[in-house]
Structure 1
């Protein structure tokens, strides 16, 4: 299980593969290549930066998603959550 380690995000729609170092958020890394990704609170409470997960296992650190939604693993809150797998595939 990877927690605070580096991981990759495969942005399926845009065809980009990005690296998320341990000292950056997934949102920051995604916005480097897709600046239009929305965000608001940056603390995992609003849900503005939610993204659809196509593959991989998110490490949920937000307070937005329900227990059931987190267990399903189909959404991630990019500003605070990370990955339990080496790569997350997102519908972005």
Structure 2
């Protein structure tokens, strides 16, 4: 794993996600309210639209075709495949 940046499209805020933390955890640490439930990538509650960047999908919900579309992710477990992601938050 590697650290990467996330940009929140609605606010313009940018955060670094360390290799040992999830996007969800970083958002919580910074006072960003997001809906979640399981923290395991199995419930689908934290599904978040991706506007830019490649996703390293680690959930068990998206089909291979949905993963290849690269337009949504589950922020409790999935990560950036590259240096950054822009999320519709």
TM class, shorter-length: over 0.9
2:47–2:72 contact (8 Å) kept in structure 1: yes
| Structure 1 residue 35 displacement after superposition | 3.4
Structure 1 residues not aligned, in runs of 5+: none
The TM-score normalised by the length of structure 1 is 0.91
Count of aligned positions: 89
- 1:22-51 CA distance string (max 9 Å, x none): 010111112223432011011000111111
Q: Structure 1 pair 90/34, CA: closer, same or farther in 2 (3 Å)?
A: farther
The TM-score normalised by the length of structure 2 is 0.94
1:41 counterpart = 2:38: yes
Structure 2 residues not aligned, in runs of 5+: none
Counterpart of 2:68 in structure 1 is 71
What SS does the aligned partner of 1:27 have?
A: helix
Counterpart of 2:50 in structure 1 is 53
